[in-house]
Amino acid sequence: MPLLHQPAELINSLREQNPLVMCIQNYVAMDFSANVLLAAGASPAMVNAVEEAEGFTKISSALSINVGTALTPHWIKAMELAASTAHDCGKPWVLDPVGCGATAHRNEQCAMLMERRPTVVRGNASEIMALANACKVEVVGGGSAGGGKGVDSTAGSEEALPAGIALAKRFKCVIAISGAVDIITDGSTKVLIRNGQEILTKITAAGCSLSTLCAAYCAVCNSALDAVTAAFLHFCIASDMTAEMVEVKGPGTHRVHLIDNLYNLSSAALADRAKFEVHEL
Amino acid sequence: MPLLHQPAELINSLREQNPLVMCIQNYVAMDFSANVLLAAGASPAMVNAVEEAEGFTKISSALSINVGTALTPHWIKAMELAASTAHDCGKPWVLDPVGCGATAHRNEQCAMLMERRPTVVRGNASEIMALANACKVEVVGGGSAGGGKGVDSTAGSEEALPAGIALAKRFKCVIAISGAVDIITDGSTKVLIRNGQEILTKITAAGCSLSTLCAAYCAVCNSALDAVTAAFLHFCIASDMTAEMVEVKGPGTHRVHLIDNLYNLSSAALADRAKFEVHEL
Amino acid sequence: MPLLHQPAELINSLREQNPLVMCIQNYVAMDFSANVLLAAGASPAMVNAVEEAEGFTKISSALSINVGTALTPHWIKAMELAASTAHDCGKPWVLDPVGCGATAHRNEQCAMLMERRPTVVRGNASEIMALANACKVEVVGGGSAGGGKGVDSTAGSEEALPAGIALAKRFKCVIAISGAVDIITDGSTKVLIRNGQEILTKITAAGCSLSTLCAAYCAVCNSALDAVTAAFLHFCIASDMTAEMVEVKGPGTHRVHLIDNLYNLSSAALADRAKFEVHEL
């Protein structure tokens, strides 16, 4: 079963349209994800004041919200307002429920944001399972209670697939689960991605910036499943190319050359290197 | 018409005096601009609490304010207090009106800060035009309403020159407009800078950090026009040197080696590579 | 006099146990210190909301607090709550009194945090001397009033040793003073470290991230003196290795390759390169 929009076409669309992506991003990831978006072909705007949440969302083509580092009342209000604005204006928005499962407060806020109907949720396996619990979604075929260690996952992506499917069906959104194999599902189809390098888990904000890239692709493609697949391939293939470079010897150099490769990756190389499968559920 | 202070002398002054520069900087740019200042020869202090705005400004040699990511009441109060303190103490201060034009709230706060009389304003063409509108300054010779796309410019620097001149005259400050050709004006003279690389637009916080470098140079030279010219040349020539390196292949490596070249650029190489012209208006 | 726990053993413990370290970190240093912790072998969580300070501290193995950029009432409350929680739960916690001495407000908050009994305090000489003053600790054998320039030191580490000893005895903690020679003391013993490169003073957040690494090592070793010694050696030897690389030409490349070397440094190479002495006081 093929996708309707080929990733190799979408990377060109992204660069041609250079969409403005508003990000409510955590402090740690702001710098890196702004550079990821610029290198990939989008135009980032990092904003977090309540006073600007509505106005900036309206002039943007997509929104990305990461519950991040500062779940204070002011930030929560900005997230809620931006998400509601995006939903009401029909603009795509992506939720990154980072660290979901770590505290009761975080679980509550993530569940609140799910009610504002994100187009896409991207997290690791522990976060997706914890999110299903937080939203009191019934998960068919089990799955643990999530948990994780702080913001790091303690489970594989396959383990979180039932939770992902349940969330996708309940909220009519796309759920993307990062892991050794990445899984993207809309509840009726799953895409498996076999590109990407384990060293990404040693680079802070890798996942957080991938979420913002998902938002950028949603701005140029109205199928969220296809958009997220293209975003993962762009990011993960750039990481594969980086790992092959002789000058890359650890997470410091990987991070730097990853930005170059996001910028330089051609549409043809993306098509050539993409390792993904589409399955009906 | 020559400048009174040669850029090649000012780079030595900066390194000898190593001035303390207080920065109220946006979250995205804090890390990069602190590294830019350290590499160039200054000592950065990033502070944003109202409780310290006055005290830290008083012990600093210059102040840089970027309206950035968090235009909340607390931050605005800190900006206002720091700017007023700098003005009252006769210390130079630089305003970066990033994203001016994007929301009405942002326009209002930028106009408010202009009343605290910055020594220098640095922005892209869209921001400078939007700032002139926000300040209700009459622009002779036209110029559009600004606008821009989020924090990125949609106009060339020449297009914003009338707005820059009008602002410089009204507020008795220096206006610096970043672009393919950079323009710096005090309302009666304009300096054109032809160094610098387009890839800088793909590196987040490049402009924001250049603004802090302008503040650093203002701390060691009492002609703001000359100080800003030196800051632009230091930054842009370091970028030119970076683009010539074989190991630089995109925005990720450019950003890293730019820091090295800010650090290593000699006074002689700066004099040799500088491409600028001074014109009476 | 040897240490009870060898640094070469502790680096293995760190990587095996991969402790979760909660950090209340300043904005400038969040990204870099998260990458330092990941590369070294720990799992960072950057959190600063009051609402999560207690919950996140309880699930973490150690806590690191940097008074940093935003000494606002909200942040202060989160710091106080996290520190008290760590103390009550018997978890190690590290204080980085960055910029202590710069404002009266900063001195007060640092003194307040000392009452929550940190396991370790790491700072530069100016900060440690200012902290002793702020805490009204009687310093035997003199030492100036501290002061510093913003967040940079104006004194050598030896000059701050009397203040460090006085603080260590009064608060029953370990004091680590960064400088050309680093000094670590618990009040009865001092460890001198002769690894590390001066260029680290030109890289923002180098000291701030070292403080978080001290917290990580405290999570795997119950002797704070030994833990901090291992943290300094890991960080400083990685810096020494970086300085020997032909591709490293300034602070930009140093910072990137430092991360790689933190990741790649073997236990054997650490033992081989370590230059430290232990003296009874």
pLDDT tens profile B151-202: 777 778 999 999 999 999 999 999 999 999 999 999 999 999 999 999 999 9
CB–CB contact A51 B71 (8 Å)? yes
What whole-number percentage of chain B has pLDDT above 90? 87
CB C96 within 8 A of CB C65: yes
Residue labelled with tokens 């942002």: B106
Token pair, residue A41, equals: 């072909």
pLDDT value of residue C72: 85
Q: What are the structural domain ranges in chain B?
A: 7-280
**Residue C160 Cα, gap to closest chain A Cα (Å):** 32
Whats the size of chain C, residue-wise?
281
Please say whether the beta carbons of A122 and A207 come within 8 A. Answer: yes
Token reading at C251: 């602070």
CB < 8 Å to B19, chain C? none
CB atoms within 10 A of CB A243: 16
- pLDDT for position B184: 98
Q: How confident is the model at residue B143 (pLDDT cuts 50, 70, 90)?
A: low
| Cα C129 from Cα A1, distance rounded (Å) | 68
Q: Say whether C259 and A251 touch across the interface (CB within 8 A).
A: yes
| Among the listed residues C202, C151, C203, C208, the one whose alpha carbon sits nearest the alpha carbon of residue C37 | C208
Binned at pLDDT 50, 70 and 90, residue A151 comes out as confident
Hey, what are B44's tokens? 């950065």
- Furthest CA-CA distance within chain A: 49
Model confidence pLDDT, tens digit, residues A111-120: 999 999 999 9
Among B44, B60, B260, beta carbon nearest to C252: B260
Nearest to B256 among A27, A30, A256 (CB): A256
CA distance A231 to A7: 8
pLDDT on residue A143: 56
Q: Write down the pLDDT at residue A2.
A: 76
- Low-confidence spans in chain C with pLDDT less than 50: none
Judge whether C175 and C211 are in contact, CB under 8 Å.
no
Q: How far is Cα B86 from Cα B60, in angstroms, rounded to an integer?
A: 9
Length of chain A counted residue by residue: 281
Of A43, A46, A247, the CB nearest to B28: A46
**Confidence category of residue A253, pLDDT binned at 50, 70, 90:** very high
Strands (E), chain B: 20-24, 43-46, 62-66, 93-96, 120-124, 174-178, 182-185, 189-193, 276-280
Between A194-208, B64-78, B256-270, the lowest mean confidence (pLDDT) is in B64-78
Question: Would the CB atoms of A43 and B150 count as touching at under 8 Å?
Answer: yes
- pLDDT the model gives residue B236: 98
User: Model confidence over C50-107: pLDDT tens digits?
Assistant: 888 999 999 999 999 999 877 888 899 999 999 999 999 999 999 999 999 988 999 9
Q: Are residues B256 and C252, on separate chains, in Cβ contact within 8 Å?
A: yes
Distances (CA, A) of C19 to A12, C41, C215, C259: 42, 8, 10, 18
Task: Write down the pLDDT at residue B74.
Answer: 87
Q: What is the ipTM of this complex?
A: 0.94
Q: pLDDT value at position A147? A: 61
Within the 60-99 window of chain C, which residues sit less than 8 Å (CB to CB) from chain B?
69-72, 75, 99
Q: What is the mean pLDDT of residues B10-32?
A: 97
For residue B198, is it left (φ>0), alpha (ψ between -120 and 50) or beta? Answer: alpha
Q: Tell me whether B59 touches chain C (CB under 8 Å).
A: yes
Structure tokens at C41: 């072998």
Whether the per-residue pLDDT at B140 is higher than 90: the answer is no
The residue of C24, C85, C263 whose CB has the most chain A CBs within 10 angstroms, and thus the best one to mutate to test that interface, is C263
pLDDT category, A140, cuts 50, 70, 90? confident
Q: Is residue A249's pLDDT more than 70?
A: yes
User: Which chains have at least 3 CB atom pairs separated by less than 8 Å from chain A?
Assistant: B, C
CB contacts, 8 Å: A48 with chain B: 27, 69-70
Length of chain B: 281
Residues of chain C with C-beta less than 8 angstroms from the C-beta of A256: 256
The lowest-confidence range among A71-75, B19-23, B266-270, C145-149 is C145-149
Cβ-contact A245, A260 below 8 angstroms:
no
Give the separation between CA A148 and CA A130, rounded to whole angstroms: 9
One-character DSSP codes across B189-223: EEEEE----GGGGGSTTHHHHHHHHHHHHHTT-S-
Q: Chain B residue closest to C32 (CA)?
A: B31
pLDDT recorded at residue A144: 53
CATH class of A7-280: alpha beta
In this complex, the residue of B44, B50, B260 whose CB is nearest that of residue C251 is B260
Q: Give me the pLDDT at residue A153, please.
A: 74
* Integer Cα distance of B261 and A52 in angstroms: 37
Q: Which helix (H) or strand (E) holds B106?
A: helix B104-114
Find the angle CA(B155)-CA(B156)-CA(B159) to the nearest 5 degrees.
90
**b/e string for B146-159 if b means 16 or more Cβ within 10 A?**
bbbbbbbbebebeb
pLDDT of B146 strictly over 70: no
SS (H, E, C) A119-171: CEEEEEHHHHHHHHHHCCCCCCCCCCCCCCECCECCCCCHHHHHHHHHHHHHH
Q: How far is B28 from chain C (nearest CA, A)?
A: 9
pLDDT at A145 over 60: no
Q: C73-89 and C50-59 are packed helices; what angle lies between their axes, rounded to 10 degrees?
A: 20
**Average pLDDT of chain B?**
94
For residue C251, give the nearest of B39, B49, B55 by CB distance. B39
CA distance C173 to A145: 39
How far apart CA C27 and CA A18 sit, in angstroms, is: 28
Query: pLDDT band for position B53 (50/70/90)?
Result: very high
d(CA B217, CA B19): 9
Measured on CA atoms in the order A162, A167, A169, A173, is the torsion positive or negative?
A: negative
Q: Is it the case that residue A195 has pLDDT exceeding 70? A: yes
**How far from A36 is each of A118, B195, B204, C121, C266, CA to CA, in Å?**
22, 25, 9, 36, 31
- Provide the 3-class DSSP secondary structure of residue B82: helix
Determine the residue type at A32: F
Kindly tell me if the per-residue pLDDT of A48 is higher than 90: no
pLDDT digits (tens, 9 = 90+) for B217-230: 999 999 999 999 99
